[in-house]
Amino acid sequence: MTLSTPDIIIAMLQSGSGISDLIFSPGRPPQVEMHGHLVAVAIAELPMLKPEHTARIAADLLGDNEHMQRTLKEQGACDLSYSLPERSRFRVNIFRQRGTHAIVMRVIATKIPSLADLNLPPAIAEAAGLKNGIVLVTGPTGSGKSSTLAALIDLINESRPEHILTIEDPIEFLHLHKKATVHQRELGADTPTFAAALRAALRQAPKVILVGEMRDRETIEIALTAAETGHLVFSTLHTIDASKTVERIVGTFEAADQKIIRQRLSASFRYFISQRLIPKKSGGRIAILEVLKSTLRTRDYIEKGDTEGRSLLDAMRDGELDGMQYFDGELEKLVRDGTISLQTAYLYATNAGNLALQMADVPDEDSIITR
């Protein structure tokens, strides 16, 4: 293989539009994920990847980063950032499988997107005006969480002369100093863990803290403390909706501690924003959001837990005037305006049965409900 790793990456990026990931796997040609589907990239000098090819690409991406080399050797996987100057940045995961290396590179936009660029509800901008509390953006991998958080941080950066501190694994979007002063710390290179960096952040005088992910009980505990002591904390979780977000956080703690955690969470949460990317009729994908906002009602439901007729979903259904919305309601709107098919709506619905009742007057173009 005479092509350099940058040349291979550039060829893959130039293979089409809407590329979100580059994938290198032995026994397959180089592939890109385009609008949610894997597509092989024809590279004459590299029709099929061999184990030695992916090992060499992995070594090139790792460079002289001894910490990541050691992490890959000891743990079988590592996360890092990689950039091609004046072209693109990537969030990279290198992992071992069947004794060989495989690589997934998430493409990161060079320009930080705005909320308008992402077609997000205007109410989301209110999160950038908050002074304290917790804002969580949740959803599966690849649903756009990092982009949403970057847009919110950039909005604060442009409008408030404050200290912003981010803790990321790895650093994705690069934030320049604007009105705010922004420091970005990367796991491995700048700090060993989210919890250690977050604990140190409480002594570094930030007004705004971004934690890449609330992965464990210690990180959640310190994030709650930070929010309670006057900081505005942004973070992510891999949960599918607002209710599951609360369950995940509370369930991380021992049963004896869960009541007080519910009380603390209800007092400090400001927004839970859950995202899903779904295919459009015209091709490509569109982000749909569920938005739970802090009100007397939602705080009460979080503290006391969901019961019949008193659930966070009920609160979101009734909370449109407060800027709240729920997944199935947004799916219904997209079907009615012709953006997505009814079949797609059922596939991505939180409750397909209830959605079917709401959509009983809409002709089913796809003939079969598969969920």
Interval 153-193: pLDDT, tens: 999 999 999 999 999 988 989 999 999 999 999 988 899 99
Please state the domain count of the chain: 2
CB within 8 A of 21, min separation 6: which ones?
Answer: 32, 33, 104, 105, 106, 107, 142
| Boundary-marking domain end, from 61, 76, 108 | 108
Q: Are 82 and 89 in contact (CB under 8 A)?
A: yes
Task: State how far the Cα of 326 lies from the Cα of 333, in Å rounded to an integer.
Answer: 11
Asked if residue 144 and residue 269 are part of one domain, the reply reads yes
pLDDT for res 100 = 97
Q: What are phi and psi of 200, to 5 degrees?
A: -65, -35
Question: How many residues would you count in the chain?
Answer: 371
Asked if residue 64 and residue 128 are part of one domain, the reply reads no
Asked if residue 164 and residue 251 are part of one domain, the reply reads yes
Torsion angle of the four alpha carbons 151, 190, 228, 262, in this order, in degrees rounded to the nearest 10: 90
Task: State how far the Cα of 294 lies from the Cα of 330, in Å rounded to an integer.
Answer: 20
Residue 14 lies in a domain: yes
Interval 192-208: pLDDT, tens: 999 999 999 999 999 99
For residue 351, give the 3-state DSSP assignment: coil
Residue 336 lies in a domain: no
Q: Cis link prior to 170 (omega < 30° from 0)? A: yes
Q: How many CA atoms lie within 13 A of 310 on its CB side?
A: 11
Closest residue by Cα to residue 192 from 218, 225, 230, 156 = 218
pLDDT at 368 over 80: no
Residue 347 lies in a domain: no
Residue 348 lies in a domain: no
Interval 241-286: pLDDT, tens: 999 999 999 999 999 999 999 999 999 999 999 999 999 999 888 9
Residue 191 lies in a domain: yes
Residue 25: CATH number of its domain: 3.30.450.90
pLDDT for res 86 = 79
Instruction: State pTM to two decimals.
Output: 0.86
The rounded percent of the chain whose pLDDT value lies above 90 is 85
Residue 310 lies in a domain: yes
The number of beta carbons lying within 10 Å of the beta carbon of residue 364 is 14
Asked if residue 130 and residue 253 are part of one domain, the reply reads yes
Residue 331 lies in a domain: no
| 92-95: long-range contacts, CB 8 A cutoff, minimum separation 24 | 92/61, 92/170, 94/58, 94/61, 94/62
Residue 117 lies in a domain: no
Asked if residue 160 and residue 267 are part of one domain, the reply reads yes
| Domain span at 135 | 122-325
Task: State how far the Cα of 209 lies from the Cα of 147, in Å rounded to an integer.
Answer: 16
Asked if residue 131 and residue 69 are part of one domain, the reply reads no
- 1: enclosing H helix or E strand: none
| Boundary-marking domain end, from 75, 108, 141 | 108
CA 284 to chain CA centroid, Å, is: 18
Place of tokens 């705010």: 180
Asked if residue 209 and residue 63 are part of one domain, the reply reads no
Task: State how far the Cα of 174 lies from the Cα of 82, in Å rounded to an integer.
Answer: 12
Q: Is 316 exposed, middle or buried (0-12, 13-18, 19+ CB in 10 A)?
A: buried
Interval 315-352: pLDDT, tens: 999 999 999 999 999 999 999 999 999 999 999 999 99
Asked if residue 204 and residue 159 are part of one domain, the reply reads yes
DSSP output for 243-307? HHHHHHHHHTS-GGGHHHHHHHHHHHEEEEEEEEEEE-TTSSEEEEEEEEE--HHHHHHHHH--B
